[in-house]
Amino acid sequence: MARDIFSQTANCELPIADQLRTANCKLKLSPKSLFNNSLIYIVILIRYFDTFLVVGFVKLMLSRENANMSFILAPVDTVENISPSDFKKHYLEPRRPLVIKGLTNNWPAREKWTPDYLKQTVGKKIVPLYDNSKADPSKPINSAAAEMPFDDYIDLIMSEPTELRIFFFNIFKHAPQLLNDIAFPKELMGGFLESMPSMFFGGSNSVTFLHYDIDLPHIFHTHFGGKKHVILFENKWKRRLYCIPNATYALEEYDVLNPDVDKFPSLKGIQGSEVFLEHGDTLFMPTGYWHWMKYLEGGYSLSLRAWDASITRKAASIYNLAIKGGLDSVLKMAFKANYARYRERVAVKWADKALAKSEKLKA
């Protein structure tokens, strides 16, 4: 019956409203047939109401997802173990990130470093804590929001969600015996900075802001405890990510998980990678890689750093440490909020320019 209606209308070359007005149109719509047709539409509507609803909902969700979709994230390659030659060829030289799940299989730390063991080993040492708030423009980026005895802090992160993190803590200074529980993966590469192993701690919900490390090392980042979400970008995306001039972090106004691409259009289409680290996993982050990390559950990580073999990278690392970081601190102290506003404006200008350039290349 419904098909009849469509074939009738198909005989008419005019739109339905005009058909009704046009006397010589082949379609004759009497009040009775109009009533019948409306009835059919109502029956169809009721019959397929739930289908229309589901289709509409799915369409709405997809359009919302597309509206929010900015970064294009691929999973980080993951292996159980890797030979030195494969590591060199496929990850170290092309500077690609990798997760090695079994690198710590022989480390005593994998079983031994429970929260209780670390509490007993480090004890009541007072540690600086950092939160998720935006950096104070007059202070160095890593200024602490609070401090606490280490053992109390471990109890806190293991019992409840908290933004508070310990950032870049050389735990081995206070408990050198912990060095016996780990191994620098020298079979995979050379150049390890053995005096600089550092630890990071966080409660569920705490976030390490998007940044890259100023000294440009390769980093082997091993995680202990609950899951940790990591998002990575190659350094070539620096300007599109709204990198702050003279700094190694980005504009803090956007949410890396759900960025507002209407406000920050340059983020749309940036390609990165993503992984959820589990207990004992080691993430290889090549030199200059941007990283954003969220502790989904309380946990801690160890970062082992190694020089990149190239002379230019080493020179850039020394320049960053000696000049860039120092200059930035002096300018911050001298010009405070004015300097911060100026840098944010420049970050937006750079991002707009970089976006226009990449759109031109695509066209």
Residues that bind ligand AKG (CB under 6 A): 165, 200, 202, 208, 213, 219, 221, 291, 293, 301, 303
DSSP structure class, residue 265: G
Distance from C-alpha of 119 to C-alpha of 230, rounded to nearest angstrom: 26
Asked if 363 and 263 touch (Cβ cutoff 8 Å), the reply is no
Query: Which of 344, 158, 168 is closest to 246 using CA atoms?
Result: 344
Which of residues 164 and 354 has its CB atom nearest to ligand AKG in the complex? Answer: 164
- Strands (E) in 21-122, as ranges, are 72-75, 77-79, 98-100
In the bound complex, what is the minimum distance in angstroms from residue 229's beta carbon to ligand AKG? 11
Q: What is the DSSP string of 300-359?
A: EEEEEEE--S-HHHHHHHHHIIIIIHHHHHHHHHHHHHHHHHHHHHHHHHHHHHHHHHHH
Which of residues 162 and 208 has its CB atom nearest to ligand AKG in the complex? Answer: 208
Which of residues 220 and 264 has its CB atom nearest to ligand AKG in the complex? Answer: 220
Q: Which residue of the chain is nearest ligand AKG when measured via CB? A: 200
In the bound complex, what is the minimum distance in angstroms from residue 58's beta carbon to ligand AKG? 37
Characterise 246 by phi-psi region: left (phi > 0), alpha (psi -120 to 50), beta (else). Answer: left
Which of residues 40 and 144 has its CB atom nearest to ligand AKG in the complex? Answer: 144
In the bound complex, what is the minimum distance in angstroms from residue 212's beta carbon to ligand AKG? 8
Query: Which of 114, 61, 22, 26 is closest to 298 using CA atoms?
Result: 114
Distance from C-alpha of 222 to C-alpha of 6, rounded to nearest angstrom: 65
Which of residues 19 and 280 has its CB atom nearest to ligand AKG in the complex? Answer: 280
In the bound complex, what is the minimum distance in angstroms from residue 226's beta carbon to ligand AKG? 13
Which of residues 250 and 293 has its CB atom nearest to ligand AKG in the complex? Answer: 293
In the bound complex, what is the minimum distance in angstroms from residue 213's beta carbon to ligand AKG? 5
In the bound complex, what is the minimum distance in angstroms from residue 211's beta carbon to ligand AKG? 7
Query: Which of 194, 219, 188 is closest to 289 using CA atoms?
Result: 219
